[in-house]
Structure 1
């Protein structure tokens, strides 16, 4: 078939018959030798999962761009406080609205009190608050591709609740004793015939005395995904990109080669600049051919060379050659002073670095300005468009990764609170296990959208609310605030101002900003 050509006598028949150019050899045969293997997601990822994660860890430890990208991922997806907006589906459960809303507010306050306690009872290791746990999951998703945790039941003095979370490193989940993956065990995950995860094999003695992970010896513990009654026992969150995918691929895989090359390029350029800066001038010495041949190939060439070098060193030491002292040195006959100039310090490095940073930024789902911390070439419109794109990516990751993990933890906590009657729910048509999704439905408020021009964006939010296109709940959520808390605080402040004899705050001024601008704009247009 390779020898057959089309009717023009030149074009190969297989390329001529191809409806897509990407399936042929390409213009100029660029894709002639490009035949990637057609593998499933697990077949492509699982054999290199350990190496890929180890390289990602090394980049995060030693590469400033990778470290900053992961840090920004945590800050944007989660923020400094990750709190619930409990959305109990009281209509489906047959509850009265007032009693249901009172219960939602009570549950939110109780969860935040326990989850954000500085004593860190919610963390099995007692090192992190709930927000710190979610940030750790977001970071693990970034440079491991997935976040894992086990639900624990721990009775501790001073802790009102016993539900706790134990973070699990994805590096510890693997097939026991290096067993090969099959259709029921893939990458440490036991699955059923529908590829649904049933449980996870977690290595107990994870690291040896040298800090290395041994995948072929030791002890593994099997942790089922859920208890018999439905309580989540092992939490595994990632975003599968293909059907049948069992483990997550870290975000650094698509840009790992470029990040490593950029580090090498930066180090080489820095060394070149240092060397050029260290040597401002050199002394060149010339020997004629007869002298050089005598020193190198003569019977006593080594001794002659040593004597000559010693003499030159003694001479230059006595001559006291200086440059900043403006003294013109006396050189040995045949020597000359040559000044060096750093003419190759940049050599297009800045443009190449910016190009590679744009490539890396796209892998992180951010803009070049964010990853490079360079805002010198953007205006308000372009910066806002760029940040809005990044915010859309952030909200997607928040919903898929951070909010899902948080909702599973909240569901376990609420189950305990109701079971132990620490919280008493209104009368319902269904119990917790009959309609668990309705009982545990929850939205999460994290970091707000970055404000570039606060005045313009506040006026825009006011216009959306006044025109009925948005609500205070949505606008305050974009700012990372809970509208109920804001309203309650405003009411308290108004009452306190009245008690102190102060006038109430003027909302008319806030609403009049845009009207004033519209009047000015209309006047200018009429004048034009």
Structure 2
């Protein structure tokens, strides 16, 4: 019997360890039980909550608002503009002039131009996770140069509760209708924002007339996730902590001093009558020399400071928030303490790479290109462009979208580097001009006009490239 007991104690079955520590099921991972659902199911259950909290945080928290302003101003700025690469020079010029004229008519609400809509779409996508744009075809009597306008809709306009299988085999998931090949056929949109008192039932809008702008994070993802999702809790609690520190300091600063005395009935320092709370207060004036009776004393308030850890703690938390949104700590806070040229340049290079990804992978591909294609088709149909279908098809493909250029901390070094790259054949002059956010054809035309005007007045400037040899 004793031998059997010893065997039970020392011959316990061994627990098989996991091939990866992160896949273990021990005590350290006891409370780490993440959701196993697909990204679409997770968003379907939590998107409304994430979106409402994100919008609330942007309204109330200055850091959240600055995050969106920083990304939008750097990614969109004054706009991502098209440069037609059509081979026919006259056609190319006509397209650019007509497009410039139409940009002022693009907004169906008449509030902004096309490039202002780019910023609005980007802002709405970051805050709410996604944004919808309806392509509105107008009548000839509306008086537009090209009968097309854009209506920007927030993500709440999509009927998220619409989920069913149709008789033709199409499936509606979270308000988006898919055919059997998984292609989008239609969107079910509310005519009015659901936040209004009455918004009615959703209506079916063909997918060809709707642009769905969002940043997919996982394969097969059909809805967008608010960009502040992974920092909302930290932002909220950090704001509560900072506010508590502010209130504590404010409360402590309200007390100037405390009077102690042995005789509670005596009047000290011109003490006034007790107020309705039973507290008697007395005041001091500048230059007062007050005599105290025996047993009387004054103790001034010495509230404790927040301590040296407050600033370091806030800085560390704000750095984590900046990392979570892809911007630098300096951009988030405006604090340039300890920053030098090399460190801020390194941070900006990484940030601008992310901006370039957003520009080309999302804004240009999902927003700019479809609008450009539809605009060209309608420009031909309404007679503004007299070309055949083959030319239109080529014009859709032969276009380059140029974002606003970035300014550097030391523009002299940057210009010298660009000059060396062009002279050594590593870059074309056209590419350098495009990186600066300009159209090389417009630049060349302006230079030619400047030179012609200078020659007519017999003027010679150092900027005249015809006189430069270095």
With the shorter chain as reference, the TM-score category is: 0.7 to 0.9
Q: 2:116 maps to which residue?
A: 132
Q: 2:19 maps to which residue?
A: 19
Cα distance in 2 for partners of 1:331, 1:441 equals: 94
Q: 1:457 maps to which residue?
A: 414
- Contact 2:101/2:145 (CA < 8 Å) preserved in 1? no
1:110-509 correspondence runs (5 A): 110-115=98-103, 117=104, 121-155=105-139, 157-175=142-160, 178-180=161-163, 184-207=171-194, 211=196, 218-226=200-208, 233-284=209-260, 321-322=283-284, 324-328=286-290, 330=292, 336-404=297-365, 405-425=367-387, 430=390, 432=392, 436=393, 439-504=396-461, 505-507=463-465
Cα distance in 1 for partners of 2:260, 2:172 equals: 69
Question: For residues 156-184 of structure 1, what are the alpha-carbon distances to aligned partners after superposition, in whole Å with 9 as ceiling and x for unaligned?
Answer: 65421211111111111014xx4457792
Cα distance in 1 for partners of 2:467, 2:228 equals: 48
Q: Answer with 249-258 or 341-350: which moved more.
A: 341-350
- Contact 2:146/2:379 (CA < 8 Å) preserved in 1? yes
- 77, 80, 88: which is aligned to 1:79? 77
- Contact 1:200/1:222 (CA < 8 Å) preserved in 2? yes
Question: For residues 236-276 of structure 1, what are the alpha-carbon distances to aligned partners after superposition, in whole Å with 9 as ceiling and x for unaligned?
Answer: 12121112211000110011111111221221122122222
Offset of 1:466 from its aligned partner?
0.9
Cα distance in 2 for partners of 1:383, 1:310 equals: 58
Q: 1:57 maps to which residue?
A: 55
Offset of 1:330 from its aligned partner?
4.4
Offset of 1:399 from its aligned partner?
0.9
Cα distance in 1 for partners of 2:466, 2:307 equals: 57
TM-score, normalised via structure 1 length: 0.77
Cα distance in 1 for partners of 2:407, 2:446 equals: 23
Q: 2:46 maps to which residue?
A: 48
Q: Answer with 29-38 or 464-473: which moved more.
A: 29-38
Offset of 1:40 from its aligned partner?
0.6
Question: For residues 423-454 of structure 1, what are the alpha-carbon distances to aligned partners after superposition, in whole Å with 9 as ceiling and x for unaligned?
Answer: 123x67x475xxx4763443222221231101
Q: Answer with 127-136 or 257-266: which moved more.
A: 257-266
Offset of 1:350 from its aligned partner?
1.4
Question: For residues 314-347 of structure 1, what are the alpha-carbon distances to aligned partners after superposition, in whole Å with 9 as ceiling and x for unaligned?
Answer: 9x56xx54164433364796x6422122432345
Residues 185 and 328 (structure 1 numbering): CA distance in 2 closer, same or farther, change over 3 Å? farther
Q: Note the residue ranges of structure 1 that are not aligned, 5 or more in a row.
A: 1-7, 89-96, 227-232, 289-307, 513-528
- Contact 2:451/2:464 (CA < 8 Å) preserved in 1? no
Aligned length: 447
User: Residue 408 of structure 2: SS of its match in structure 1?
Assistant: coil
Question: For residues 489-526 of structure 1, what are the alpha-carbon distances to aligned partners after superposition, in whole Å with 9 as ceiling and x for unaligned?
Answer: 111111111111101534499875xxxxxxxxxxxxxx
User: Residue 29 of structure 2: SS of its match in structure 1?
Assistant: coil
Offset of 1:488 from its aligned partner?
1.2
Residues 73 and 311 (structure 1 numbering): CA distance in 2 closer, same or farther, change over 3 Å? closer
Cα distance in 1 for partners of 2:297, 2:425 equals: 83
The answer to whether structure 1 residue 103 and structure 2 residue 103 are counterparts is no
Residues 283 and 22 (structure 1 numbering): CA distance in 2 closer, same or farther, change over 3 Å? same
Q: CA RMSD in A?
A: 3.1
Residues 11 and 241 (structure 1 numbering): CA distance in 2 closer, same or farther, change over 3 Å? farther
Offset of 1:281 from its aligned partner?
1.5
- Contact 1:321/1:329 (CA < 8 Å) preserved in 2? no
Q: Note the residue ranges of structure 2 that are not aligned, 5 or more in a row.
A: 1-9, 265-272
- Contact 1:57/1:143 (CA < 8 Å) preserved in 2? yes
Cα distance in 2 for partners of 1:331, 1:22 equals: 72
- Contact 1:152/1:166 (CA < 8 Å) preserved in 2? yes
Q: 1:525 maps to which residue?
A: none
Residues 346 and 356 (structure 1 numbering): CA distance in 2 closer, same or farther, change over 3 Å? same
Residues 284 and 186 (structure 1 numbering): CA distance in 2 closer, same or farther, change over 3 Å? farther
Q: Answer with 43-52 or 388-397: which moved more.
A: 43-52
Offset of 1:225 from its aligned partner?
0.3
User: Residue 147 of structure 1: SS of its match in structure 2?
Assistant: strand
Cα distance in 2 for partners of 1:102, 1:311 equals: 87
Q: Answer with 74-83 or 272-281: which moved more.
A: 272-281
- Contact 2:162/2:173 (CA < 8 Å) preserved in 1? no
Residues 412 and 348 (structure 1 numbering): CA distance in 2 closer, same or farther, change over 3 Å? same
